[in-house]
Chain A
Amino acid sequence: MTQPAQVTKPLPEADDASKPFWDGAMEGRLVILRCADCKAWRMPWRHHCDQCLSDRSTWEQASGRGVVRTFGIMHQKYHPAFEVPYNVTIVELAEGPRITTNLVGVSNADIRVGMPVVVDWERHSDITLPKFRPA
């Protein structure tokens, strides 16, 4: 009899387009795409700017600071690798764009909208994920 394979959380895998983001994360730098024409930040990765439709861009390092825009505490077991309850949080970065993440270093009961947070890196063997903790 074979044992069922251990289910792990779905860890993203870098593709060519997003490689600078993941390379930056490995080095502990939050690097985001920015429009080379109108300077709007692009999050998540996309070929065209959603403000001016330019397809020219650069990767720039963001401050890694932001505030909790909103959050929820998940109780429903959708995926076997996630222990419930856990928080799902949208952080509004100081630069403006928003990132979907989890807060660490704070109990779910203490999370508040507007709370200042700073990026905190969760390292896996071949990928590093941006999580956030209270600043």
Chain B
Amino acid sequence: MAHALRNAGAISGLGITPMGRIYGKSATEFAADAVRAAIADSGLKHDDIDGLLINAGITGNIGGGITLGLQNYLGLKNLRLLNHMNAAGSTAAQMVQYATMAIANGMARHVVCVFSDAPLTEGSKTGAAYGGAGRIAPRPRGMAGLYAAAGYFGANTGYALAAQRHMAMYGTTQDHFGIIAVGQRQWATMNPMAQMREPITMEDYHASRWVIEPLHLLDCCLVSNGAVAVIVSSADEAKSMAQPPVYIRGMGQGHPGDTGRAGNDAETETGAKIAARTAFGMAGVGPEDVTQCQLYDCYTYTVLVTLEDYGFCKKGEGGPFVEDGKLGPGGSLPTNTGGGELSAYYMWGMTPLSEAVIQGRGQGGDRQAKNDVILCTGNGGTLAYHGALILSPHAN
């Protein structure tokens, strides 16, 4: 018997604001723009919304992020479900999961899931909000101070060290990371919403400045102001709504942590391994059935290691797997078809999810890829948190 949650829910609405160095709006205002757009897109009325799940982004940590006060700003007074969620980059997939579970059990009908962030201010350095060096005390207390004393700053450091470990263990090369960056930029040239639409070559990739070796600038995601909202409804209701439903066929999570404890391989074995079993099991499919991927790509390396952990290839073979360009336009496994976080926009887990919804509806235009089975993932921490959705335009 099929899992009770297989195709129980569907994504019925999508709202995306302009992305990038967009100034003059707060995270709350971006969120309201995205929610208004998602409600209009779905054909629902404001009063139909009875669930709201929010995820604040980096401004949730550094200040200015959306809070539960968003409910009041949006004037929502019929809510039966409300929460502020944070499992870092895995949150978007998770919001859809909890919304689906709630809807399937009669707790809500139409749940808005919204991510909003506004870390960029006029004249600010792009990575400032994520580097964290500006917030370090002159004398950090205790042993946690060993990180700052060693100059370990921000997400870039953790992922560079993880990528270096993979290279040393398995012979992964800079070319393997580069082909991912180049392929995603090719996709981005076809996405009018993408922040970076100029094609790049492998030469451009290798010539881009080091952030922290082995990561070039072009290995790292963008930083964006903006917001994305999706609406989750029951699959039955979604069938008669304004947009083609994108069915939620499978869902899973995996959180191996990053304890640094002896024997743990957190750099090269991610939560995707755990999530894959649940999500593929619920969906009744395997990696061989996936026709396109929308993978969380905070770094090129994240894409490579995620593909391994979903079983598209063996552990350690992610480099050779991607080197023929199969992830790019015309390839056999179209991946991050909007350009992803590397080239389109960085809305944490809403980047892959928003593109998965566009693709699932068949609204990808020039970049539309085969959409029968879409693997959509979120990842957070340094490969510590993982959420998975398996989406499809078909409810069978």
Contacts and interface: CB of A to CB of B under 8 A. Distances in A.
B146 A99 contact: yes
A73 B213 contact: yes
B127 interface: yes
Interface in B127-157: 127, 131-133, 136-154, 156-157
13 contacts: A10-B140, A11-B139, A12-B145, A44-B144, A44-B146, A45-B143, A71-B164, A75-B209, A82-B151, A88-B151, A88-B212, A98-B260, A102-B150
Contacts of A98: 260, 262
A18 B143 contact: yes
Contact of A96 (B141, B169, B215, B262): B262
Given A12-B148, A98-B262, 16 more contacts: A10-B149, A12-B145, A13-B142, A40-B261, A40-B262, A41-B262, A72-B160, A74-B212, A78-B132, A79-B151, A88-B151, A88-B152, A88-B157, A100-B147, A113-B165, A129-B149
A68 B86 CA distance: 33
A79 B161 contact: no
Given A11-B149, A12-B142, A44-B143, A76 B131 contact: yes
Interface in A55-105: 69-76, 78-79, 82, 85-86, 88-90, 92, 95-102
A102 B212 CA distance: 14
Contacts of B240: none
A70 B143 contact: no
Contact of B151 (A40, A92, A102): A102
A114 to B, nearest CB: 7
Contacts of A114: 168
B162 interface: yes
Given A15-B142, A43-B260, A113-B168, A72 B149 contact: no
B210 interface: yes
B168 A10 contact: no
Q: Which 7 A-B pairs have the closest CB atoms?
A: A12-B145, A96-B262, A113-B168, A72-B160, A78-B133, A44-B143, A73-B213
Interface of B: 127, 131-133, 136-154, 156-157, 160-162, 164-165, 168-169, 209-215, 259-263, 267
Contacts of A113: 164-165, 168-169
Contacts of B143: 12, 18, 21, 43-45
Contact of B150 (A50, A78, A92, A101): A101
A114 B151 CA distance: 21
B133 A70 contact: no
Given A12-B139, A96-B262, A76 B151 contact: no
Given A76-B127, A78-B154, A101 B146 contact: yes
Interface string A13-55: 1110110010000000000000000001101110000110000
B392 to A, nearest CB: 38
